Amino acid sequence: MATRIAKVLSSRDIYEGTAFGLRHERVREPGGVISERDIVTHHGSVVVLPVFPDGSILLVRQYRHAAGRFLWELCAGHIEPGERPPATAQRELAEETGYAAERMEKLVDFFPSPGLLSERMWVFLATRLTAGAARPEEDERITIRRFSAGEIVRMMRKGAGLDGKSLAGILFYWRFRKNRR
């Protein structure tokens, strides 16, 4: 069965920033419906799940203005032009946490909000970790901490401060990969 995609009838860039852009398109969708779509354009990002031999997971805490609060998250970042996702994963892990991973393995990739956002996220499992000095960006104020599985489960049950990419990455790892290692 052939997969059809929308035919773009017109497209106009409204905004182009350093992290994302905004584009307005008029499209004929596969069912023939003509629609107007506003799309947040994004070059993609990586999410890094650092797991230690004891099963603990390293999270970073930082203020997220759009959410209006501090969140515990897996480290993550934008893919720079010309950069491949595994290289971005190593770079972000080192910048945000100071750790280096001897092994960086792709777990899953997904589109976090495909109704309006073109961003694709690649989740990498980082193991055989070696500590070093973090090199956060100038505007990043990051705290790092290892959490046991029990602590993370309690956070999830309370709805306390984990973002969507971290929930997706951790739950995917626990369900599909943890016991295969």
pLDDT tens digits, 65-95: 888 888 899 999 999 889 999 999 999 999 9
**Lowest model confidence (mean pLDDT) among 72-86, 105-119, 130-144:** 130-144
Both tokens assigned to 172: 């995917």
Kind and range of the H or E run holding 171: helix 164-172
**Predicted pLDDT of residue 6:** 85
Domains of the chain in start order, with CATH, are 7-41 (no CATH), 45-180 (3.90.79.10)
pLDDT band with cut points at 50, 70 and 90 for residue 2 = low
Look at residues 10, 29, 32, 13 and name the one whose alpha carbon lies nearest to residue 21. 13
User: How distant is the alpha carbon of residue 170 from its chain centre?
Assistant: 12
Q: What is the pLDDT of residues 141-179, one digit of tens each?
A: 778 999 999 999 999 998 877 888 999 999 999 998 876
From the candidates 80, 119, 138, 151, which is the catalytic residue?
138
Q: Tell me if residue 138 is catalytic.
A: yes
